[in-house]
Chain A
Amino acid sequence: MTEPSDDELVRRFVGGEHGAFEVLVSRHERRVYNLAYRMLGRRDDALDATQEAFLACYRKLGGFRGQAAFTTWLHRVALNICYDALRKRAREEPHRDDPEVEPAPVDDPADASATAVDVRRALLEVPEDFRAALILHDVQGFRYEEIAEAIGVPVGTVKSRLHRGRVALARALRGERHGPLPPSNPQERITG
């Protein structure tokens, strides 16, 4: 038996089957989390944004008309939440925008290599709009047209942002390397 499609799950959820939404969440949470992590550069913020994105979808799904693919729509919602988080961060924590402040996620073996840490940091120096194009295309493999739909800009703009973002990232990687990471500081005692 084949897995139900996203569209089918959306239909079931709108029809009152709440369990269908859980399937959508488990199917897409990793991608959304990675998008948020690469956009925001911090795991706790990424976790918040991911939950917020799914909650927003949960509440808005009744109004989802299926013009776009569910994944595109979900990524648009997630991206908007990331933009909001970045705006809020700039407003409230101007100093924490410095990527040096954030310790490396030492318990993420997948992200532990020096290169991955460098790229994570350099990404945060790329302007947000370019960064979104880079993550969606070069990390997550979305097509230009899908990104255009998710971001709400013409396809040509996506390609242009992608190129400029790549150049900005390479320059950040080449010219602005950071020193050793500060030691990790446990910040989530309360979750234990």
Chain B
Amino acid sequence: MTDHPHDLLAEYVDGALGPERRAPVEAHLASCSSCREEMDLAARARHALAELPDVPAPAGIALGVRREARRPSRAGRWIAAAAAAAVLAGAGVIVVTRGLVGGGAQRAGGGGGGEAPAVPAETPRAEDEADGEATQESSGLSAAASSEAVVFFESDRDYDPTSLARLAPRLRARATESLRAGFAPTTERFFADLELDTVPPRARRAIRCASQGLPPDQPAAPFLIEQARFQGEPVYVAAFLRGPSPQARHDRVLIWVVSRETCTLRYFASQRL
């Protein structure tokens, strides 16, 4: 045997070779120190893997799938919402999902609190809205709002503080429209309605990442998340609605820009509704 019999070594280590197939392998091993060493390593690895515990699956792991199984129209609703947002968001933008539907029991949404987060804030000036480049963003984040969905989409847009500042008042207008059209009026209600485990992975990751760094006692409801860039860096640009408390009506839009890699804050803006 001139070549190293890797496939036979697997079976040898498994004890799956009969005597007549085992003999040539053993002859090879007797003359090949590298295969002897490999066989020893392989046996250890096999043992370590056999000892590896079965990890318990999280409870309700397939809840979303089960819901799909019961209500196949749901997939259609996802797609319909995604398609609608795609049209709104314009060419070159991929819409991945929508995230939630109304109904369901109430659930506590977190503690109280009423102060704005202690992060550097740049509140956009109202006159920015009348700027000459006003239409540029209308094909992106600000245009994709919808009534009851968290809209997540990907774009190749590269924001900077000026363009984000311009975006804020427009998002405020969209938020008002969305609330009028049935978006959860409070953060508590939003989280009661949110079925995060039915949200497709990319959007879910975006929601989680964008939500990191929000003050834990002041939850906010994401309504738009764009996977884009900020001064060249891959980021999520997320728009959140928030009220003075989780039970109070939203009175503020936050624009929260986090690094996609580290989920740390890169830019923040806030607008009163």
Residues on A lying within 8 angstroms of B by beta carbon are 18-19, 21-22, 25-26, 29-30, 33-34, 37-38, 43-45, 47-52, 54-55, 58-59, 85, 92-93, 95-96, 105, 108, 110-111, 113, 115-116, 119-120, 134-135, 138-139, 156-157, 159-160, 162-167, 169-171, 173-174, 187-191
Contacts and interface: CB of A to CB of B under 8 A. Distances in A.
Contacts of A29: 57, 61-62
B52 interface: yes
Interface of B: 6-11, 13, 38, 41-46, 48-58, 61-62, 64-66, 68-70, 72, 75, 191, 196-197, 200-201, 204-205, 207-208, 211-212, 214, 216, 219, 234, 260-261, 263
B53 A166 contact: no
A189 B48 contact: no
A59 B75 contact: yes
Given A134-B45, A159-B10, 17 more contacts: A25-B62, A30-B54, A30-B56, A47-B61, A55-B68, A58-B69, A110-B56, A111-B53, A119-B51, A159-B8, A159-B11, A163-B6, A167-B45, A169-B45, A173-B44, A173-B48, A188-B208
Contacts, number: 160
B10 A18 contact: no
A30 B13 CA distance: 28
A75 to B, nearest CB: 15
Contacts of B42: 163, 166-167, 170
A54 B62 contact: yes
B49 A119 contact: yes
A96 B262 CA distance: 9
Contact of B46 (A135, A138, A187): A138
7 closest Cβ pairs, A-B complex: A48-B201, A170-B41, A159-B7, A138-B49, A166-B42, A166-B45, A110-B53
B233 to A, nearest CB: 12
A87 to B, nearest CB: 13
Given A33-B57, A156-B7, A191 B196 contact: yes
A115 B51 contact: yes
Q: Is the interface of B mostly helix, strand, loop or mixed?
A: helix
A52 B62 contact: no
Question: Which of B48, B191, B204, B261 has most A Cβ within 10 Å?
Answer: B48
Nearest to A165: B45
A95 B261 contact: yes
25 contacts: A18-B70, A25-B62, A25-B69, A29-B61, A34-B57, A37-B55, A55-B64, A59-B75, A85-B201, A92-B261, A95-B261, A110-B54, A111-B55, A115-B51, A116-B53, A119-B49, A138-B46, A138-B50, A159-B11, A167-B41, A170-B45, A187-B208, A190-B191, A190-B196, A190-B219
Nearest to B53: A110
